[in-house]
Each structure stands twice: as C-alpha cells, then as structure tokens.
C-alpha cells in the first residue's frame, strides 16, 4: 500500500479495538491501547495505537491523537525498560509499505534490544502464546504497581 488511501475498518488493529480480535493487552485508557506484538522483533516488543483515530500513518493522524500516543509510548517505555532491563530500546513508526508498514492503522513500536542479540525481522516469527501470556501478566503487574501509565 502507498502512503495515501482509504482507512480499512477491517485492519487487525481496528478489529482489536472493536473487540473482534484478541490481543495481549498491557495497557488501555480513553485514548490509547498498548499490547504485545504477536510477531515480535524481540522479547517485550509492544505496540501502541490511538483508539479514536482512523489515520493510516503519521501524515493523517490528528495532533491530539499523536500526542496521546507518544506520551503513552514514553511512559510505557520507561516501565518496559525498568522491568526487562534491556541494553537499549528502539522506538519505531513505519509509513507505507516501502518503509515496512504492514498494518494501516497508525501505531508505534517499542522494541527492547540486548547487546549481542539480533532483533528478528519485522513481522516474522510468531511468539508462543504461553510466553506472551506470562510477559503480559508481568508487565500488567508492573504497570499496576506504578499506578498505571
């Protein structure tokens, strides 16, 4: 898909927001939803999406939705770093197929990184459900202990 087009209300993130598809939710408020990527680049790979926007990419997103999403990304990144103790963290956002975008609902990636461990290719290799459930519980507990995001 190109940078320009119509929003598809049947994309996987829209389905998740509507309750028509499952996710490993770690955080939700009135403006954003954060969940673990089922095709993670690394352990703890988290996606953050705005709930009210039907923007496909950064060119279309409303400033208020972008601001809420980025504030949540920053707060969640702090929690993920505190909990998982990576050596680094990558924050990414893709726009258009040529840039690596595969889901056309604006979203941010939080990707913990460890020295000497290569990240998997974006969108490859599905994680085990048990591993995702255990990590979800761990992060939800940490978020709750810190009073939410």
Query: Is 33:70 a contact under the CB 8 Å cutoff?
Result: no
- Please identify which of the residues 45, 105, 107, 109 carries the catalytic annotation: 107
CATH of the domain at 134: 3.30.428.10
Domain-embedded: residue 3: no
Domains: count for the chain:
1
45 noted as active-site residue: no
- In tens digits, what is the pLDDT along the chain, a chain of 149 residues? 678 889 999 999 999 999 999 999 999 999 999 999 999 999 999 999 999 999 999 999 999 999 999 999 999 999 999 999 999 999 999 999 999 899 999 999 999 999 988 777 776 788 999 999 999 999 999 999 887 66
Q: How far apart are CA 89 and CA 69, in angstroms?
A: 17
Predicted structure pTM score? 0.94
| DSSP bridge pairs for 110 | 46, 91
- Cβ contacts of residue 39 below 8 Å, gap of 6+? 122, 123, 124, 125, 126, 127
Q: Which domain holds residue 49?
A: 12-145
Domain-embedded: residue 6: no
In whole angstroms, how far apart are CA 84 and each of 16, 39, 65, 146? 26, 18, 28, 15
Radius of gyration of the chain (CA): 15
């Amino acid at each position: 898909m190109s940078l320009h087009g119509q929003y598809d209300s049947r994309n996987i993130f829209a389905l998740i927001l509507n309750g028509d598809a499952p996710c490993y939710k770690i955080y939700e408020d009135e403006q954003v939803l954060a969940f673990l990527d089922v095709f993670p680049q690394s352990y703890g790979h988290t996606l953050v999406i705005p709930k009210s926007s039907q923007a496909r990419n950064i060119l279309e997103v409303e400033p208020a939705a972008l601001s809420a999403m980025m504030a949540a990304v920053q707060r969640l990144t702090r929690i993920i770093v505190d909990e998982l103790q990576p050596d680094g963290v990558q924050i990414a956002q893709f726009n258009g197929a040529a840039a690596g975008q595969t889901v056309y609902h604006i979203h941010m990636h939080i990707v913990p990184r460890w020295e000497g461990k290569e990240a998997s290719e974006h969108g490859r290799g599905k994680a085990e459900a048990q591993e995702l459930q255990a990590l979800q519980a761990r992060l939800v507990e940490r978020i709750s202990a810190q009073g939410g995001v």
